[in-house]
Structure 1
Amino acid sequence: MPLLDHIGITVDDLARGIAEFDPILTALGCTKHEIDGSVSWYREGETEVILFPAREEGTGPHVHGRVGWQHLAFEVDSRDEVDRMHALALGAGWTAVREPKEYPRFTDRYYASFLENSDGIRIEFMHNPPRPAAEA
């Protein structure tokens, strides 16, 4: 059972949000579902990601570092997959915050990239394989 059942994200423009999120979530193996004025992506046994349109115009974008959303990290299977997903997100209109690189302050195996969309929503693609048993 996943730790979280679903994550709801409010975006300024739902059509633009779909254009930004759909390539990423589809590439991660999720299936898109239309839901009364919103859209979600789900992969069996995983957390559902739901986009909602803003109820009030002019309330965005979110500013990273303020109270609220920090970022959402997607764990992928390899460094190459971090690079691939980073490039895919750039192609979908996301902006690079940090290009793919190692983050030894987390672990000596941590490799990640960070991106932000037009609403200030920040995501991370990360790969942090377990330490081999002989090193543990």
Structure 2
Amino acid sequence: MFDHVKFGASDYAASKLFYLKALAPLGVVAGSEAEPAYGIELCHPDGEISLCLFQTDEKPAHLHLAFVAESRQQVDAFYRAALEAGGKDNGPPGLRPKYHANYYAAFVIDPDGHNIEAVCHKPEA
């Protein structure tokens, strides 16, 4: 269901340390990391699902939910359906090569202002 969940922290360094230590017994390790505003991915070494943490001063912190899509067509369908349901565009379907070569995603803002994403990691069929 989820590809990743991303949430903000008011003290990135403290939260990063907390989650890495607290989740270590569950096999969670640090994945990719960039500047604090982008954050860090926490994941299983052999897994594809991640919990992402980033620095923010927003209150309440911004929530980003990403759902797994099995195909690029599902991403396109998600985007159309979300807009028809009242969502606001936050990035139309397309490749996002800054994440990786086959990262195909679409983003919408839900009625509460949360960033909702559908993502397919597979190459085009």
TM-score by length of structure 2 reads 0.49
Considering only CA atoms, is the larger Rg found in Structure 1 or Structure 2?
Answer: 1
